[in-house]
């Protein structure tokens, strides 16, 4: 499926108020998505990092890697940047061409099965700027992605992130919404998530 350069104008906003989130299934064909998943599984130096939550140090329930030109800190850890490899550059170029955005960094998450997860959080580190654009590519198993109003904790928006799909968050999203990927007993297969961002 091909998208125009103005990717955002082609789809409806998933959020009812404040911020913008757009979902594009089949951004990459399944065959391409499967190839990228296999390549990144082999090429990336995956690590399980410790994080601090409410004063306690715990191991993250997933494997991660950080690519770009600058180190990145969140939740009490600092990730040291590795240069983009050929596979990531191909993916980044396609997303930049379609969205009209530029990205200089990427956080990769490997969810080994349904028991790996991501808790509620906002991507609002100061290095990302006031209203960051974040492009999130999914490879592998389908997982449910949820957004929740940061203030009332009641308004929840959910979508299934399929193999080869792209989710774009921009505008005031990180101010008013937090997002998560919950544990599930029904998913047995692995998933790789790549979140491209611009570090100032």
Superfamily of the domain at 7-197: Alpha-ketoglutarate-dependent dioxygenase AlkB-like (2.60.120.590)
Q: What is the pTM of this model?
A: 0.91
Residue 1, pLDDT score: 39
**Nearest alpha carbon to residue 182 among 125, 131, 114, 130:** 114
Residue 69, pLDDT score: 87
Residue 10, pLDDT score: 60
State the Cα–Cα distance between residues 47 and 108, nearest whole angstrom: 10
Intervals of the chain under pLDDT 70: 1-10, 75
């Amino acid at each position: 499926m091909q998208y125009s350069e103005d990717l955002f104008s082609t789809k409806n906003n998933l959020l009812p108020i404040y911020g913008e989130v757009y979902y594009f299934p089949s951004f990459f064909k399944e065959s391409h998505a499967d190839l990228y998943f296999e390549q990144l599984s082999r090429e990336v130096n995956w690590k399980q990092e410790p994080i601090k939550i409410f004063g306690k140090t715990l191991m993250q329930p997933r494997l991660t890697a950080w690519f770009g030109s600058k180190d990145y800190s969140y939740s009490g850890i600092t990730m040291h940047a590795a240069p983009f490899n050929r596979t990531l550059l191909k993916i980044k170029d396609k997303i930049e061409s379609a969205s009209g955005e530029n990205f200089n960094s990427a956080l990769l998450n490997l969810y080994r099965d349904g028991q790996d997860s991501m808790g509620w959080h906002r991507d609002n580190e100061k290095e990302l700027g006031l209203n960051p654009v974040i492009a999130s590519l999914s490879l592998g198993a389908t997982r449910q992605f949820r957004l929740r109003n940061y203030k009332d904790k009641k308004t929840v928006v959910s979508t299934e992130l399929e193999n080869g799909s792209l989710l774009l968050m921009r505008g005031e999203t990180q101010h008013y919404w937090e997002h998560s990927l919950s544990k599930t007993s029904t998913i047995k297969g692995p998933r790789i998530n790549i979140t491209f961002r611009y570090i100032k």
